[in-house]
Amino acid sequence: MAKKEYSFYPGCSSQKAASASNYQTSVNSMCDVLDVQLNEIPDWNCCAASIGYAGGGELPRLAMSARNMALSEQAHPDQDIVATCAACWLATKETQERLHNDGGLMEETNKALAEGGLTVKADQNIRHMVEVLIEDFGYDALGKHVTRPLEGIKIAGYVGCQTNRPFGIDGESFENPKYLDKLVETLGADPVNNYDRKVSCCGGALAFSEPEKSQALIKDIIEAAYDGGADMIVTPCPVCQLNVEAYQGQINKKYNTKFDIPVVYYSTLMSVAYGKSYKESGLDGQMIKAKQLDAIAKK
Amino acid sequence: MAEEKKVGTYICKGCGIGDRVNTAGMATIATRECKSQVTKEHDFLCSAEGVKMIQDDIDNDGVNHIAIVACSRRAKTEAFSFENVAISRGNVREGVIWVRPDTDEASETTQEMAEDYTRMAVHEVSVMTPPTPSGQSEGRKNLLIVGGGISGMTAAIEAARAGYEATIVEKTGALGGSAANLYRRVPESSPFKDPEDSGVAALIAAVDADSKITVHLNSTVTKTSGAPGRFSADITTESGATATENFGAIIQTSGFTEYDANQLPHLGYGKGKNVVTQMELEALAAAADGGVIKTADGKDINSVVFIQCAGQRSDEEGHLPYCSGHCCTTSIKQAMYFKDQNPAIDTTVMFTDLRTPGAGGEDFYRSGQDKGINFTKGVASEVTDNGNGCTVKFRDMILDEDTSTDADLVVLATGMVANAGVDIDVVGQDDPGKWEVSVDSILNLDYRQGKDMPQLRHGFNDSHFICFPYETRRTGIYTAGPTRRPMDIGQAIEDATGAALKAIQAAENAELGRAAHPRSGDLSYPSFRKEGCTQCKRCTVECPFGAIDEDEERYPQFNEGRCRRCGTCMGACPVRVISFDNYSIDTVGNQIKNVDIPEEFDEKPRILVLACENDAYPALDMAAMNGVEYSAFARIIPIRCLGSTNLIWVTDALNSGYDGIILMGCQKGENYQCHFVKGSEIAQDRMSKVDDTLQSLSLEPERVETYEIAITDIERAPQLINDMAATIEKIGMSPFKF
Amino acid sequence: MSDMNTAMVEKYRNSFLSEVEANVEEGEWVKMCMQCGVCSGSCPFGPYWDHPPQELFMMIRAGKREAVLSSESMWMCTSCYNCIARCPRGLPITHIMHGLAHYAKRLGLAPKNQQTMKFASIFWDNLTKKGRVNELQLGLKLYFMNGFVEGIKTALCMKEMGMSMLMTKRMSPMEYFGGHSIKDTKGLHAILKKAREIEEAKAKQF
């Protein structure tokens, strides 16, 4: 198969020494196996995420994402924009929708962009990495690269919010998307069926501003994974990953629980199954070690 | 019948019957014991060859009474329909081999079942006569339509389009009814965004232009008699001149009256010009005719509050307990009268549950929101005059607070009261509130059971006719539009169209002497032996369809066209003088009496099951299809309706040594499922007297049970039979075995 | 009262709904709510809202300007989009909540100590400064946003987590000094300035 190229929007958390740098590491390894070339959008900026609303008004926020699209159009006009971060993908896609559907916004946005010497059409496809995997490859093709099946590992597919709503992955339902489960199966592991917090919210950015309320949500997400017999949780979203992994210590203190469940990215699982090393798979980025994966990766 | 009676018995060996039972033995019984003159077995009776064998015997051998011993009477009805002969069916497939295990131990009782069903079929048909039409119908096909509103005009136009003449009798001086008073109607077509022309003028023009439609204005129907195909109606004008005309069928489209808002003083009605009903607002809008709508005393309107459910959906004394269905969309439409003219006018629709039925209802609601109509979920408690307009006090159901708002105009959505005529069923009026709007009769029926159409609930002429909502309890007379149940224009048009087609069907059926739903096409009808009649009137009182009048000598007068052939009259008759050609005390009684009753010490009880053919019998058939087994001691006889059960059958069965009797009918009461409305209920009343019979015979009351069976009771119906078998095992065999 | 707030009160007088329609992101949808309450039942923070979305819509329609804009409710939105996915009327509820929160803050009516408002404002300032989020600075600022003493408490509470992140190289103390940035910060700032100007000019119209 020929090399596939995409205009890549990595997002802030993927940067070196940022909270999802391990995500980026595993994405790179995964893409290497799949012969995917990610062409980074030159000088991309933050998408402002959902929580940017308090400071930024509608137009400034749209302008942030519009600038990225404009830069992508210049650098990689014939490629789809691909994001790995749920918030980046959502913000960019939302901006595109708003620019095309809301009368004067396209014009106003371009007026603002002109100040930075840019102009935007916003007509490139904006896709999440998961869409690329499912639509451009498909489970069968993804499965062909598996050299180390993840046998005997039970994994809860935690889809979360923003890769699921309001856009979601084509062909999946809002209430019970199955793609993570199918992917888990493709890699030789066992999905947790009927994982009832699959699309529940982890609190998102409010994990910072409303820690107690958010941790109550996170607790339920982890508890349901344990209830389903999960050895680990897999997610496609950096905020989900961070929130569900990082707060387990605090939750244990508050609720007297003994949570210690690894939370990994789909790309981590794929890298390991594809034969990549411990480091290449980003396993060194696990605050809670995914021991079963470590064992396979170190084989 | 002039020709000699000749019975032929045809026994099928197909579908495994031949493998499971000894059909030769059954044939012997038919011939020797039952005196069947021709008896034949066939490997595949419903095949063309098998059917031809029977037809040949009819054509060449003079066979005119046919007992088909094969599958259920509900199966292969087309194959086994032979003209001008009497037919009975012995159910050996669903009734025997499919409900019994295929084992050596069971084979003896299975064979006994098959032999009994053979006996029953032959003895049943022996006392049947092939039914022929009564010839009472005069073959009239034209329709009388009482009420010239949207429903009536639609029915007339639809009938005319189908090629039938229609006569509209309208009480007022003009066609159009309530809808003629509307400024605009709720839209009937996509995109459902704006009010539309009511369409009344176009309908009137179409009626006027149609040569098949005759209109009598300022007229009422002062007498209606007869039956489908031969109705006679006196049409009387305001001046008193009366003309008598004949019709094939009747549609009553007498519409509704707006609920009397004077009963709502707390909502400010009647105290000033600032509170109006929906119909009154229509008049204001029509007067403005696209110009600025003002109050009746000419004041400007800058804010309007529409109070939904004013005096309806309420259990307060004098209020309507039901939802009138149209008022929410009507208020949205009326708010648009203001918004479309001037978006600055504040319009608030105050609702508790906004209901916008119909395909476009939701779109229309959205359009209203889009136009800036404010929707407030709240209950108005009081409307007062504040000198400058009104103050509406209300409970905001979302914000959970008592608050108020000012308005220049308040519109009350007061709901519909049916113009249903006289309530012939004055008993059972325990509903909250009594609303007597129209006590003048609409049809002035010259029927034994009352002047107008029976009402179902809340004064509407609906029928809750099982499986056929258009049907009523007066054959050949249909009701349509808001007299039947609350509805909007769109629904009324659909309703009237359906009623027109049903009326045409009724007239056509009447000419052929055929019954309407649910025994569609049945040619049999009840007749009675005058010499035996004691003029007790039970038949005329109990007929669920008012089909039986009384003649000058006070004998029952059967109107075949009105009859639904349920047999309730037959079941009611204490002297058993009423019968149908193919369904009578004897056709069932003969079956009961000819079942072989084994000696008490054989330990083989017999259980008689009289099963309603509408639900219970199909349920048992389906149980058989699903392989549900039941006792080999049961002998099941389908009956037209539990209402046709005559006590003599029960007495005969007990006297002949049956050990148990089960009566299976449909659900009775308010949510009745009886296909003849009242039959099941009447029968169960009648059966309450069975205890006396049992007592006089010194038998246990458990030996006779009456059950309500639904068509879905596939497991339960067989279980009830098995329960009876268990009961008999417990209390012992009947001592009446001779 | 801020100047803008005074101006808006003056401009819209009795019609808060019109004010929301003109000035709040996706505000023109508020009138289309049919009060079914699916949004309220679908919200992960549902129990913490004084006024769930559908009630806020009703309050806007009832003209309760002060109560709506000073409410903590819309600051409870976690942007999970459940309400959007489920709203039978297709209202962009998440965005309306963001829009109301933003508008309340802009008018100076948002509750002074609203934690999410503080965090979200810090976040915006952080990301617009260099075009990319500086997670360390964001985190530290966040700890101390409620004062020094609170900040130390929070920092202690978060110590373990911070250490884990450092250990796994998912955080770097070097970020404190400069850190990630886009190259054309000047261009970005010019774009944002213009965007704000356009928005402010629109608010002043009519």
Q: What pLDDT was estimated at residue B428?
A: 32
> Which of the four CATH numbers 3.30.70.260, 3.40.50.2000, 1.25.40.10, 1.10.1060.10 does domain C3-111 have?
1.10.1060.10
Query: Torsion angle, CA of C20/C22/C28/C30, rounded to 10 degrees?
Result: 10
Q: Residue written as tokens 């809808």?
A: B179
What is the percent of chain C where pLDDT is above 70?
99
pLDDT band at C165 (very low <50, low <70, confident <90, very high): confident
Inform me whether the C-beta atom of residue C45 falls under 8 Å from chain A C-beta atoms. yes
- Give pTM, 2 decimals: 0.87
The C-alpha atoms of residue B49 and residue B79 are separated, in whole angstroms, by 11
Interface of B with C in 361-420 (CB under 8 A): 365-366, 369-370, 372, 374-377, 396, 398-399, 403
Q: A206 is written with which tokens?
A: 């409010």
Please, which residues have CB within 8 angstroms of residue B572's CB and are 6 or more apart in sequence? Answer: B538, B539, B542, B578, B643, B646, B682, B686
Q: What pLDDT was estimated at residue C12?
A: 84
* Model confidence pLDDT, tens digit, residues C47-85: 999 999 999 999 999 999 999 999 999 999 999 999 999
Residue in A closest to C132 by C-alpha = A46
Determine the distance from the C-alpha atom of residue A66 to the mean position of all C-alpha atoms in its chain, rounded to a whole number. Answer: 20
Q: What pLDDT was estimated at residue B429?
A: 34
Instruction: Report yes or no: B543 and B568 within 8 Å, Cβ to Cβ.
Output: yes
Q: A15 is written with which tokens?
A: 């940067």
Query: Is A145 exposed, middle or buried, given 0-12, 13-18 or 19+ CB atoms closer than 10 A?
Result: middle
Peptide bond preceding A166 in cis form (omega within 30 of 0): yes
The C-alpha atoms of residue A68 and residue A77 are separated, in whole angstroms, by 12
Q: B298 is written with which tokens?
A: 């000419």
- Is residue A86 pLDDT above 50, yes or no? yes
Nearest to B398 among C17, C35, C89 (CB): C35
Q: Which of A32-46, A269-283, C174-188 has the lowest mean pLDDT?
A: C174-188
Task: Report CA torsion sign: C176, C179, C180, C186.
Answer: positive
The C-alpha atoms of residue A189 and residue A268 are separated, in whole angstroms, by 13
Q: Which residue type occupies A201? A: C
- Is residue C206 pLDDT above 70, yes or no? no
Inform me whether the C-beta atom of residue C185 falls under 8 Å from chain A C-beta atoms. no
DSSP codes joined into one string, A134-199: IIII-HHHHHHT-SS--TT-EEEE---STTTSSS--TT--SS---HHHHHHHHTT-EE-TT-TTTT
- Is residue B607 pLDDT above 70, yes or no? yes
Q: Is there a contact between C123 and A18 if contact means CB atoms under 8 Å apart?
A: no
Nearest to B399 among C31, C58, C89 (CB): C58
Please, which residues have CB within 8 angstroms of residue B149's CB and are 6 or more apart in sequence? Answer: B175, B176, B177, B178, B179, B180, B253, B255, B481, B492
The full set of domains in chain A, from first to last, is 4-129 (1.20.1050.140), 149-274+285-297 (3.40.50)
- Is residue B181 pLDDT above 90, yes or no? yes
Peptide bond preceding B518 in cis form (omega within 30 of 0): yes
Q: Which residue type occupies B310? A: A
**In 3-state terms, what secondary structure has residue A14?**
helix
**In 3-state terms, what secondary structure has residue A1?**
coil
Which of B565, B722, B568, B724 is CA-nearest to residue B644? Answer: B568
Q: Which of A276-280, B45-49, B97-101, B683-687 has the lowest mean pLDDT?
A: B683-687
SS3 sequence of C29-45: HHHHCCCCCHHHHHCCC
Query: Is A284 exposed, middle or buried, given 0-12, 13-18 or 19+ CB atoms closer than 10 A?
Result: middle
Q: What pLDDT was estimated at residue B427?
A: 34
Nearest to A165 among C80, C194, C198 (CB): C80
Q: Is there a contact between B365 and C35 if contact means CB atoms under 8 Å apart?
A: no
* Model confidence pLDDT, tens digit, residues B345-374: 999 999 999 999 988 999 999 999 999 999
Q: Please give, rounded to a whole number of angstroms, the shortest distance from the CA of A271 to a CA of chain C.
A: 18
- Is residue B1 pLDDT above 50, yes or no? no
Interface of C with A in 5-44 (CB under 8 A): 25, 44
Instruction: Report yes or no: B275 and B410 within 8 Å, Cβ to Cβ.
Output: yes
**Average pLDDT across chain B, whole number:** 94
Q: Which residues pair with B405 in a beta bridge?
A: B392
Q: Residue written as tokens 């914000």?
A: B399
* Model confidence pLDDT, tens digit, residues B663-690: 999 999 888 999 999 999 999 999 888 9
Instruction: Report yes or no: B388 and B360 within 8 Å, Cβ to Cβ.
Output: no
Instruction: Report yes or no: A26 and A271 within 8 Å, Cβ to Cβ.
Output: yes
* Model confidence pLDDT, tens digit, residues A233-248: 999 999 999 999 999 9
Q: A283 is written with which tokens?
A: 């396993």
Instruction: Report yes or no: A14 and C63 within 8 Å, Cβ to Cβ.
Output: no
Q: B540 is written with which tokens?
A: 């005329």
Q: What pLDDT was estimated at residue B103?
A: 96
DSSP codes joined into one string, B197-218: ---HHHHHHHHHH-TTEEEE-S
Where along chain C do its domains lie?
3-111, 115-197
- Is residue B694 pLDDT above 50, yes or no? yes
Q: Write the Ramachandran bin of C53: left for phi over 0, alpha for psi from -120 to 50, otherwise beta.
A: alpha
* Model confidence pLDDT, tens digit, residues B504-560: 999 999 999 999 989 999 999 999 999 999 999 999 999 999 999 999 999 999 999
Please, which residues have CB within 8 angstroms of residue B119's CB and are 6 or more apart in sequence? Answer: B29, B30, B33, B34, B594, B595, B596
Q: Which of A282-296, B394-408, B451-465, B722-736 has the lowest mean pLDDT?
A: B451-465
Q: Which residue, among C141, C194, C204, would best test binding to A if mutated, counting the most A CBs under 10 Å from its CB?
A: C194
* Model confidence pLDDT, tens digit, residues B130-174: 998 888 999 999 999 999 999 999 999 999 999 999 999 999 999
Instruction: Report yes or no: B568 and B676 within 8 Å, Cβ to Cβ.
Output: yes
The C-alpha atoms of residue B598 and residue A167 are separated, in whole angstroms, by 76
* Model confidence pLDDT, tens digit, residues B265-290: 999 999 889 999 999 999 999 999 99
Q: Which residues pair with A211 in a beta bridge?
A: none
Residue A284 has phi, psi (to 5 degrees) of -70, -10
Determine the distance from the C-alpha atom of residue A184 to the mean position of all C-alpha atoms in its chain, rounded to a whole number. Answer: 16
* Complex-level ipTM: 0.94
Which of B565, B588, B738 is CA-nearest to residue B661? Answer: B588
**In 3-state terms, what secondary structure has residue C115?**
helix
**B abuts C (3+ Cβ pairs < 8 Å):** yes
The C-alpha atoms of residue B250 and residue B443 are separated, in whole angstroms, by 10
Q: Is there a contact between A285 and C199 if contact means CB atoms under 8 Å apart?
A: no
Interface of C with A in 119-148 (CB under 8 A): 119-121, 123-125, 127-128, 131-133, 135, 142
The full set of domains in chain B, from first to last, is 1-130 (3.40.50), 143-257+418-426+435-512 (3.50.50.60), 260-414 (3.50.50.60)
Q: Which chains touch B (3 or more CB pairs under 8 A)?
A: C
Instruction: Report yes or no: B145 and B496 within 8 Å, Cβ to Cβ.
Output: no
- What DSSP state is assigned to residue C131? S
Q: What pLDDT was estimated at residue B533?
A: 97
The C-alpha atoms of residue A208 and residue B677 are separated, in whole angstroms, by 68
Q: Which of B100-104, B133-137, B630-634 has the lowest mean pLDDT?
A: B133-137
